[in-house]
Structure 1
Amino acid sequence: MVIIIYILLILLSFTALYPFWNTLVVSLNEGLDTAKGGITFWPREFTWTNYEIVFTNDRILQSFGISILRTVIGTVSAIFMTALLAYGMSKSYLMGRKFLTIFFIFTLYFGGGLVPTFLLIKSLGLMNNFLVFIIPGLISVWNMIIFRTFFKSLPNGLEESAQIDGCSNWGVFIRIVLPLSGPVIATLSLFTAISHWNDWFTPTIYITNQDLMPVQTILRRILNANLINDVIGGGDSLASEKLSKKSLTSKSLISATVMVVSLPIILVYPFVQTYFVNGVMVGSLKE
């Protein structure tokens, strides 16, 4: 029985990992050779050309920077603001606490819709504004509930001792509560960062300035158009030289772009793995 379970787990892991591995192989294989088919586990004609084209495309590099900036600022600000709200909501003496709890939970079930949200964003002057990536996502009610559950599990004596020593509420939150919240902060930061990094829809609706487009939106347009010129970017001399040698195809270039976009967020996982197991258990605690 144990052997059968291991076999099933291996097959499940293979089905999850193979598409990613095959995309990496295609990105490292010569374009026209890939078009012949039969590329599975190893490149037949190894080449760095596809990555050379991607990394010499100014538009992709700029959008890559926008994505990194958005992910870092958006994650830090969202985690801090959500934790701050959850800290207040974790206090039983907070006036109107039950009403506020119902008010926040209501937003989990009902939303304003795309058109009212668009009109709100426009009225706030966030169209073609970098802050449209940050401000609407500052508070996550789901993350707030997880934070609140964790904060309520902390011993009251810690805060009382700090207050006796003259620590203010801000001091307790910054110096006592946040340092003790490492696992939940790491876990929710990872989920928030992935959400920011993978979001291509928001800029599609609210951004028309090409200089503010994140890399996921650029990749989405490339995949939809399936045109080699969208990756090459037009006037790049290296791209023109490689294209003249007929070593490029849309599939190989798109695969390279997908790998460049995917690897940064994948590399984050090992750094938060030690906190991840403890962090994901927080939501299972009873209040």
Structure 2
Amino acid sequence: MFSLNRRTVGEAAFDWVNNLLMLIICFATLYPIWNVLVNAFNDGTDAMRGGIYWWPRQFSLDNFKTVFESNGIMTAMGVTVAKTVVGTVVHVLFTAMVAYAYSRRELIGRTVYMVIGTITMLFPGALIPTFLLIRDLGMIDHFSVYIIPALFSFFDLIIFLSFFREIPDGLIEAAEIDGAGDFTVLFRIVLPVSMPVVATIALFHGVYQWNDYFTGMIYINNTDLQPIQTFLFRVVAQASSNQMISAMPSGVATNVTSQSLKLATMIVTTAPIVIVYPFLQRYFVRGFMIGSIKG
């Protein structure tokens, strides 16, 4: 008698082809990152000769020492950390408050608000009207330009709303009977039981704030307020060593080149989010699955 679990030759070949394709895709995705890492840890002058593929030929930390000793780069890193932390906290709190109001059945005009919010998702504001609005509000060359325009996201509201609707009404009604107000219910009952969705939104917006270079490029002229991503974008886009040289501290090692500094800056810029992301990746999956299956 034939076993039901026995695989055919075609199924085995299909799996081998799939595995091979995945290996090729993984290699094509990861190798450029590995090559940047290897060249960043290599002596800058030696790296100009080329031929470095898998391991540093002349291992050196001078590139990273120069990056961390540079006031311009570290100031940009500080701006990025500040806007990521502050922006994520206020975004989560504000979006959660709006989503909680949307989840209340007694909210007048809730359907109209949902329609208006959906329209903003499909037809976002263009760049020129947005720039004129930011300018008229006085947020050009101001730290608030990183926070206020990104204070609310209707997409994140939908994720919050899907989770809030699964909270039993009896839990909220019991708190209201005990005299709890809306803010007390939200911050002491709803949010504590909604930590998975809070972590999801925080991760969504934190990654956005960390990777955002466009805001600094359009609205910030003061180099002391530009984030590290904008700093890196301008260095790479201009393909010039002038900005890197101006950011170098005095007495920089002679074996450091503008190209090696670019690579080291890329690693310093992306390393924090790359390290944190794998530990929080499951929240992305959970966030997309919230509300998709009803019991």
Class of the TM-score when normalised by the shorter of the 2 chains: over 0.9
Give the length in aligned residue pairs.
282
Q: Match of 2:6? A: none
Equivalence for 1:196: 209
Q: Which residue of 2 aligns with 1:137?
A: 150
Once the two structures are superposed, the pairs formed by residues 224-235 of structure 1 within 5 Å of their partners are 224-233=237-246
Structure 2: distance between partners of 1:68 and 1:190? 14
Kept after mapping to 2: 8 A contact 1:54/1:232 = no
| Structure 1 counterpart SS, 2:118 | helix
Q: CA deviation at 1:33?
A: 2.1
Name the CA distance, whole Å, in 2 between partners of 1:52 and 1:63. Answer: 16
Distance in 2 between residues matched to 1:47 and 1:235, nearest whole Å? 17
SS of 1:12's equivalent in the other structure is helix
One-letter amino acid of the structure 2 residue matched with residue 167 of structure 1:
A
Alignment of 1:82-231 (within 5 A): 82-231=95-244
How far the C-alpha of 1:205 sits from its partner, in A, is: 1.4
Match of 1:8 in 2: 21
CA distance in 2 between counterparts of 1:114 and 1:71 reads 22
CA distance in 2 between counterparts of 1:18 and 1:234 reads 29
**Residues 194 and 230 of structure 1: CA distance in aligned 2, closer, same or farther (over 3 Å):** same
Q: For the Cα contact (< 8 Å) 2:41–2:59, is it kept in 1?
A: yes
Contact 2:87–2:146 (CA under 8 A) maintained in structure 1:
yes
The alpha-carbon distance between structure 1 residues 57 and 171, as it changes in their structure 2 partners (threshold 3 A), is same
Paired residue for 1:267, among 258, 275, 280? Answer: 275
TM-score by length of 2: 0.90
Residues 1:284 and 2:292 aligned together: yes
Shift of residue 235, structure 1, vs aligned partner: 6.3
SS of 2:149's partner is: helix
Name whichever of 201-210 and 60-69 sits farther off.
201-210
SS at match of 1:233: helix
| Separation (CA, whole Å) in 2 of partners of 1:171 and 1:96 | 24
Distance between the aligned counterparts of 1:229 and 1:57, measured in 2?
A: 14
Structure 2 stretches of 5 or more lacking a match? 1-11
Output one character per residue of 1:95-148: Cα deviation in whole Å (capped at 9) or x when no partner: 000110011111112233111111111111111110011000111011111111
Could you tell me the percent identity over the aligned residues? Answer: 44
Please give the TM-score of this superposition, normalised by the length of structure 1. 0.92
Q: Give the greater-gyration-radius structure (CA).
A: 2
- Kindly indicate whether residue 81 of structure 2 is the aligned counterpart of residue 68 of structure 1: yes
Structure 1: give runs of 5+ residues left out of the alignment: none
In structure 1, the residue matched to 2:58 is: 45
| Cα RMSD (Å) | 1.8
Return the offset for 1:272: 2.3
Q: Answer yes or no: is the 8 Å Cα contact 2:70–2:249 preserved in 1.
A: yes
Aligned equivalents of 2:107 and 2:181: distance in 1?
Answer: 16
